[in-house]
Each structure stands twice: as C-alpha cells, then as structure tokens.
Amino acid sequence: MNDNTKRYGGTRVGAWVVEADSIDLSALLRSAWRGKFIILLSTLAALSLGWYYANNVATPKYRSTAVVMLNTREEQVVDLGNVMGGLGSDRPVVNTEVELLKSRNLLGKVVDELHLVSDPEFNGVLRPPSQIDLIKGQVIEWITGRSPASAAPPSPGVQRDITIDALLRSLTVANLPDSLVFKVTIETTAATKSAEIANALVELHILNQLEVKFEATEQATTWLTERVTGLQIALEEAEEKVNDFRASSSLISPEALRNLEVQLNDLRERITNTQGTLNATESLLADMREAQTPAEKAAVSKDMQLQRLLLRIDTPSATEAFDLRFEEVLSRSETEVTRMRGQLETLRNSRSVLETQIEQQSQDLITLQQLSREAEASRLLYEYFLARLKETSAQKGVQQADSRVISSAVVPREASAPRKSLIQGFAGIIGFALGIAIVLVREMNSRTFRRAEEIESMTDTNVIGQIPNIPARRRQDALAYIKKRPASAVAEAVRNLRTSIMLSNVDNPPKVIMICSSLPGEGKTTVAFSLALNFSSMGKKVLLVEGDIRRLVFRQYLKSDQKHGIVSILSGNKTIDEVIIKDEFLGSDVLLGDKGGSNAADIFSSERFGRLISDLREQYDVILIDTPPVLIVPDARVICQHVDSTVFVVRWDVTDRNQVISALREFESVGHEVSGIALNQINPKGMAKYGYGNGYGPYSNYSSEYYVN
C-alpha cells in the first residue's frame, strides 16, 4: 500500500464510517430520519396495496373445526377378550391417529362421499385458466411448439388424486398438548362446505375404525369357523380310531395288566421254588443210587422206617423188609422227580405264555393311550376354538370405535382469511422495511461529502472553510448579496475562510493564493470573487487573476470591455498597467484571461509567467488566482508551483469523493499539497435534514442569533 492509499484510504459505507467492525448507529438513525418521507411513502404504498389485496384480490376463506377425542377406555358389554383391543395413549399412538386423519384413503372416501371431484375449488382441472396460466401456456407453446390446451384432460383417477391433494392442503389436524383431543380443521371458500367436509371427515374416520374392527372380527370368525370344523373332523377321526382299536384288540384294563404282572411274578417264584425242589430231589435220588450199604442207604434216604429196620438188619426178614422199603423210597423219589420235571415244564410254558400276553397287552395299552391322548388333545383344541368362536361371534354387535366426536363442526359466521389486520400489519412492516432499505441503499451509494469530518477522514486534509449556499440565481447577484449583507452567514463564512488561509502560516502569511476544484460547477470562481471582495474590504491591495483562460468566465461577473488579459502580457503585446482593470464593486484589481495561440499549460509553464507572478508580488498584498478544474486540464498543477497557498473547493453533497481524492493526488504527484479544503454551497436546510445543523458554523440552527441574512 503506497502513501496515497494510506492517506486517502479507509472503509466507508455511504455516510457511515466503519472502524474495527463497528457501525455508527447514530449515523444510521440520521440516515433513516433524512429519508423519513421515502419511508413514509413506502409504508403508505405498502399499506394501500395490502388494503387493496385484502379487500379486492384475496379470496375469503372460511374455517370450520370438528373436535375428536381418542377413546382409550375399553368398555365391554361382555367380559370377553377383544379380537382387536383398545389403543394406548402414548406419543406414537397420538401421532398415528394424526396421520390416520390425514391419510389419503380417508380423504378419498370424503372426496367420494361429498363428490368433491366436481368442485372447482378442489379440482383445478375444472377451473378456467388464469392470466398467468395463459401466459405460461403461451411460453410453453413458443418453446415446444405444442399448445397445452390441445393436451388431453387428466383421467378420472388423476383428477381424484388432484382433489385429494387439494383437500389435504386445506386440512389441518392438531393435537392439543397433554391430551387425547384432536382438532380437525377445514378451510374452504364456503362456510357451509367447510363444516360439511369437517363433519364428514371425522364421521368417516370413526366409521372406518368400526369397519376395520368389524372386518377383523369377521375375518376371525371365518377363520375360527374353519378351524373348529377341521378340529371337529379331526376329533371324530381320533375317537373313531380309539373305538376301532378297542374293538379289534382283546384289551384289558391297566389294572388287569398289573394283575397279570403279579401273576407272572408269582409264576416265576414258583418256577424258582420248583426248580430248587427238583434239584434237591434229583441230588437225593443220585445219592440213594450210589449208596451200597444199608447204613448208607438209610442215612441218604433219611427214611425213619429204614432207620428202624437198620437196627434189625441182621435178620433175614429185616433185610428183606429193608430192601423192599428202600426200593419203595427210591421209586417214590424217581416218581417225584418225574412229576416235578413235568410241573416245571408246565410252569415254564405258562410263564412264556403269560409274558407274551403281557407284552402284547402292554403294546396295545400304549397304542390305546396314544390314541386316547390324541383324541383328548383334539377335544381340548376343539373346545378352545369353539369357545373363541362363540366369543368372537358375540362381539360383532358390541364393537366400539377408538375415537368419538366431542364437538361437531359448525358453519362459521365470519371468514378466517384474509386476516385484514394481519395483512395490513405485514404490509406496513414490509413497506417500512423497504423504505428503510431504499434509504440505506441510497446512503450506501452516496459518493459525496456532507460534513467536514468526512472530508478530513477521507483525505487527511483540513477543511478551512464552510460556505453556505448563496441565495442568488445569477453570479453577479451572488457578489451583490455578500457585499450588501456583510453580517450574513455567507459573508461570515468567507471571513472564516480568509482567516483560516492567513493563519495557515502565521510567520509568513500567504500572498499568492490559488483557488481550484476537481471539476467545473463547484463554485470556485464565486469563492475567488468572494475572497477578493473580503480582502479588499480589509484595505488590502488585491489582484484577482483569471487563471482559467480556456473558459473565460470572469466577464460574467464584471462589466468590462477589456479584451486583453494575462496572455497578452506574457506574449509581450501589452503591459500590466494596460491590461489590469480596477473594479469598483470588488474594490480590487482584476487580471482577466484571454485567448492565445499556445496551449494554456505551456503558457503557465513558461518563465515569463513565473516572472509575472514575482512582479505582481511586489505590487499587491494578496493575489488570488482562479484556476481550471484539476481533473480536466493540467493548468492548476502548473500554476500551483508559483503560489503560497492552495484552496481546494468541494461542493457540498455534489462532488464525488473519488474525484476529490484523485484531484488531491494530482497535486501530490507534483510535490504540492493543498493548504485546505473549502466545503462550498452548503444547504442549511439540507444540513438540518441530515442531522448536522446543531453545531457546524454558519449553517447552525443558532446562526440567527449571530447573522443577519
């Protein structure tokens, strides 16, 4: 960033200086106050448009509301379990109820019930095309080459969907906080229609709940009937199998089977005992057969009679009797063995038969028990489903809806929309905001200066004078006004400027003073004449030089026939005394400008111009040079090399700040800084309008106490 950028830099938005991310709120308020008429007009225009829209454009809408309560209490006529139970009261249930009330299926039933497809308000196909639609159609026809009017109308199904969409947009379902109450609101262009649709919607919703429950009960009844019929057939088949099995088998009871098992155990015990006895008998028989002597035979047989005969064994009769008795005992033992063997075989055969019988009976009993259990299970299932079928059949007439109407919709007396007061309020707010925006945008786009502080902050150059606008149409009248009213605010402002110029260098007050501006029309020539008039009134010998030899405007202020001027002097055709005129009105000498053959910048760059200024310094106390605009021609930058002070004139609220900054940079480029800036043609009323009229010199609100205009 160069020095000039630093000097003339800064961030400014309109009249608001932004520093460190801060905005001057007072400046914003002053800007809004300055544009109060624009804001007022914008607000009034918006209010008028809002009133016109609310009373002539907007279509009246009527809103009707039906109130529905979600019934979570299960009131049953009979103490039976419901096929479809009651609802809960938690948030998901409430949200579900809201969505059910807004469901397309339910709205479709309302559309069909009230024949809303034939209503142009809901079926946009039936409405005549608006002007905007016609324009859109024309544009589409230009682009595609096909006319929308020639397209086939939508099918009845599509029109029904369009109607449902429109009805959904007009529907509002709201759940009251912390309750199970729902407000169903319909808004249409007809009061009666709104009430009819709202009531039809809630009634169809409740009827739909009953239909759903009835269908569920009907489906359950049908299913249970089919199941009971099937279970009855299965039960009959199972019982028939049990009976057939009983008839086809010699089945005994479980108690008889247990008796057979007891008999088998007894038989087994008898076999065991018989076997033991047989073994003992066979052992005895073998021992008897092996015995040789009478003593051994008597001991083995353990027969008492043999033992008695053994005592008389020595006699022949005893021996014969002993042998006969032993043979008898031996024969009896053999017979006993044979008998016992036959008995044991019989017992074993009986055991085998009994075991076979028991095994068969056990298998039959198991089969019977299995068939009986299957039959019993079928009976229990059949009885259960039969009971549920009876309960479900009993519920057909006692089903209740999950919702009930607690307040039917009534025909509204007044339109709910448009809300004229609300529209007016919004229109006023929008108009006010638009007015503020216009004012602020205008302020942000402002490129001029209105205060000395703005100039000084932007240019880093002091403002040494602030001159109000002179109430005169012609330039001669402006000078006459200042001279005739020496106590006026304008005259005092010129004095302040003169004082600031002379005090700019107390030790060496400036003698040659140049007055310039960035562009024409900023009043620099009038300022130069005013300073000449003021200096001469102090008794100073003053020379006013017309440095703008391209335009030659001095003759508009003076009544003089002098045709020669500064160019004639520099060319040597005339002397100073021959060219300078004495103006009695100003009380000072005037050196007019005249046309020359050379370029003006070249003329002022010559040594003769420098010598001329040096000669004039010896003759006059103050020399005022009015120069051309800085940004138009380079003359001022050349002339400034020979002056002691440069006064740069800026027109109030007219001169663009970039032009001012560019002009000041032109002077800096030649190593000459402006001594000060004069803010010219200030409008006192405008300053008060901008909020600057309470303490700024000659245009203060208190000026009437000091100045006489």
- The torsion angles phi and psi of 423, rounded to 5 degrees, stand at -60, -45
Q: What is the pLDDT of residue 443?
A: 75
Nearest to 540 by CA among 625, 642, 643, 623: 623
Q: What is the pLDDT of residue 35?
A: 80
- For 539-572, what is each residue's pLDDT tens digit? 999 999 999 988 888 888 887 888 889 999 988 8
- For 443-480, what is each residue's pLDDT tens digit? 777 788 888 888 998 889 999 999 998 888 777 788 88
- For 639-678, what is each residue's pLDDT tens digit? 999 999 999 999 998 899 899 999 999 999 998 989 999 9
Higher pLDDT, 119 or 56: 119
Q: What is the pLDDT of residue 464?
A: 93
Q: What is the pLDDT of residue 10?
A: 46
- For 216-244, what is each residue's pLDDT tens digit? 778 888 888 888 898 889 888 888 888 88
Q: What is the CA radius of gyration of the chain?
A: 67
Higher pLDDT, 507 or 272: 272
Task: Determine which helix (DSSP H) or strand (DSSP E) holds 234, and give its type and residue range.
Answer: helix 191-248
Mean pLDDT lowest among 241-255, 306-320, 436-450: 241-255
Instruction: Tell me the pairing of strands 171-175 and 181-188.
Output: antiparallel
- Which residues are within 8 A (CB) of 609 and not within 5 positions of it... i.e. 6 or more apart? 570, 603, 642
Long-range contact set of residues 336-342: C-beta below 8 Å, sequence gap at least 24: 336/281, 337/278, 337/281, 337/282, 337/285, 340/274, 340/277, 340/278, 340/281, 341/278
At 400, the pLDDT band (50, 70, 90 cuts) reads confident
Let me know how long the chain is: 709
Higher pLDDT, 585 or 709: 585
Q: What is the pLDDT of residue 359?
A: 81
Q: Is the pLDDT of residue 12 over 60?
A: no
Average pLDDT of the residues in 43-48: 92
Mean pLDDT lowest among 8-17, 72-81, 326-335: 8-17
At 309, the pLDDT band (50, 70, 90 cuts) reads confident
Q: What is the pLDDT of residue 17?
A: 41
Higher pLDDT, 111 or 141: 111
- Which residues are within 8 A (CB) of 382 and not within 5 positions of it... i.e. 6 or more apart? 228, 231, 232, 234, 235
At 63, the pLDDT band (50, 70, 90 cuts) reads very high
Q: Are 407 and 178 in contact (CB under 8 A)?
A: no
Q: Which amino acid is at 567?
A: V
